[in-house]
Amino acid sequence: MTRVVITGMGWITPLGNDIDSVWKRMVASESGIGKIDRFDASSFPTTIAGQVRNFDWTQYVKDPSKHGHPAMNSQFALGAAKQAWEQAGLHEFDALNADRAGIYLGAGEGVLDFSAHSTIDTHAWDAEDGMIDPVAWAKFASERLEPWGEVEQEPNMPLWHVSKEYGLMGPAFNCLTACAASTQAIGEAASVLKQGDADIMLSGGTHTMLHALGITGFNRLTALSTFDGNPEEASKPFSRDRGGFVMGEGSGMLVLETLEHALARGATPFAEIVGFGSSADAYRITDLHPEGRGPAAAMHGALKQAGINPSSDTPPIGYISAHGTGTQENDSIETMAIKKVFGENAKDIPVSSIKSMMGHLIAAAGSVELITCIMTMQTNTLVPTINLKNPDPELDLDYVPNTSRESDVDICMSNSFGFGGQNNTLVVKRYDD
C-alpha cells in the first residue's frame, strides 16, 4: 500500500501570513476578527470579518508579469503555495518530474466587481418592463467590466496560477463543494497518489467571499453572525449564545508525496494521511440531516480507511479539528455525530474550532484546519476554541475552551461539512517510519 505523507505547509490567513506567527497567535488565543474595511459594510447586518492583511502577492512569485491579473483567491493561493513549496525543500530540488507532479485544489470563485455590476444592473433596469434591458446591459458591461476580472472568477484559475508558478503538469483538479472543498481536495489528492498517478501533489484551498455580494448572500441566509460588540468576541463556536459564523478568507496549501518519493529526495515527512471519508447527506439543501447522518458517515469512512476502531478501550484520536462554524445547527449536529461515531470515547477527545479565531475560510477552511492538526502533533499543543465563556449545556464535549494546552497527540481528525450536504473527513498521523 502506498503511503502518503505531508512534507510542506503554508497559509495566508486573517491571523497572519506564515506558519509560525499564526500558530503562536492561536496558541495565545488571539483573534483575527475585526471591522470590515475592504468595502463600506457599515450599514450591513454584519460589519466584521477575518480579513487578510499586509499581504502582497507579488512577493511570493518569481515574476509577477507571468501571472497577469490574478484575483485575490489566486493571490492567496500563490502566497500559501510558496511557503509549502519551500518548506518541502522543492525550491532546491531540480529533479522534479513535472508530468508526475500534480495539483488538486478546493478553490472558490474569484471576487466579482460588485461596484461595477451593481452600477450596470441598475442602469440597465427597465422600470416599465420590470426587467433588465439586455441590450443596454451588454453595452454598459462592455464599458465597465474588466475582461480579465471576469475570466479570473472561474474557480479553476488559482489552479492555473499555482501550476504555472511551479511547473506542475501532472493530474490537475479543482473542486468546489462549498465549505468542504479543500478537505475533499486533499483527500482526493492523496487518493491520486495512492493510485500511482503522481509522485507529488500540491493541494489545499483558497477563497474569499469577503465582498459586498458574498456578505449579502450569507446575511440573507442568516448564517452570518451579526454580533455588534467587540469583533474579537464574535465567533463563538459551541457557545450557548453562538449566533452564526464569522467570514474569513485566505488559503492553506500542503505538499503531499508518496513516502517513497519524499524519502528518495531526502525530504522530512511531518505527517501521514491515513484516512479519508466522504459522503452526501442527501437530505435537504438548507438543513443538515437531524441525526448527523452524513458527517457521521464521513468520519466512519475516514476511520475505516485508517484502520482505527472508534470504540477502542482508549481514545483512538488525540484531537479533532471541528468544522465548528458557530451556527446553532452545525455545532449541535457535529457534536451529535462525533458522539455517535466515538461513543464513550467522545468525551475524552479534545475538539476545537479555529474558526473562533480566524473566522470561516469557506473553501479554504479545511486546508488551514488540517495544517492546524499537523502543527498540533508537531508542538504537542492543542489550540483552543476561544470565546467559549457561555457553554451550551447540550454540547458536552471537551472543546478546549479559551486557552491552549499541552497534550501528546499522534493522530488527528479534521472535519469539513459543506452547505448542501457534502461532508469530508481526514485522519492524519504523526509520521513514524
Which residues ranging from 233 to 292 are in contact with another protein (CB under 8 A)?
A: 278-286
The C-alpha torsion from 331 through 13 and 410 to 188, rounded to 10°, is 80
Choose, from 67, 161, 261, 323, the residue flagged as catalytic: 323
Q: Using alpha carbons only, give the angle 241, 243, 249 rounded to the nearest 5 degrees.
A: 130
Nearer to another protein, 93 or 148 (CB): 148
Footprint on residues 96-155 left by another protein (CB under 8 A): 99, 102-103, 109, 115, 118-119, 121-125, 127, 130-132, 134-139, 141-142, 145, 147-148, 150-151, 153-155
Q: Known catalytic residue: 161?
A: no
Footprint on residues 199-238 left by another protein (CB under 8 A): 212, 216-222
Contact 211, 37 (CB under 8 A): no
Beta bridge partners of 239: 391
Instruction: Classify the C-alpha dihedral 68-215-54-173 as positive or negative.
Output: negative
Nearer to another protein, 327 or 385 (CB): 327
Q: Is 89 left (phi over 0), alpha (psi -120 to 50) or beta?
A: left
Three cell numbers written together for 310: 472508534
CB 191 → another protein: shortest distance, Å?
6
Contact 105, 157 (CB under 8 A): no
**Per CB under 8 A, does 398 bind another protein?**
no
Cell 479519508 belongs to which residue? 276
Choose, from 179, 207, 373, 412, the residue flagged as catalytic: 179
**Per CB under 8 A, does 73 bind another protein?**
no
Stretch that binds another protein, among 192-200, 351-359, 373-381, 425-433 (CB under 8 A): 192-200
**Per CB under 8 A, does 159 bind another protein?**
yes
Q: Known catalytic residue: 261?
A: no
CB 396 → another protein: shortest distance, Å?
28
Residue 163 Cα to chain centre, angstroms: 19
φ and ψ at residue 391, rounded to 5 degrees? -60, 145
Angstrom distance (rounded) from CA 243 to CA 235: 8
Q: Known catalytic residue: 179?
A: yes
Stretch that binds another protein, among 42-50, 230-238, 249-257, 318-326 (CB under 8 A): 42-50
CB 96 → another protein: shortest distance, Å?
13
> Which amino acid, residue 377?
M
**Per CB under 8 A, does 177 bind another protein?**
yes
CB 391 → another protein: shortest distance, Å?
30
**Per CB under 8 A, does 168 bind another protein?**
yes
Beta bridge partners of 320: 351, 413
**Per CB under 8 A, does 301 bind another protein?**
yes
φ and ψ at residue 14, rounded to 5 degrees? -65, -15
Tell me which residues are annotated as active site: 179, 323, 360
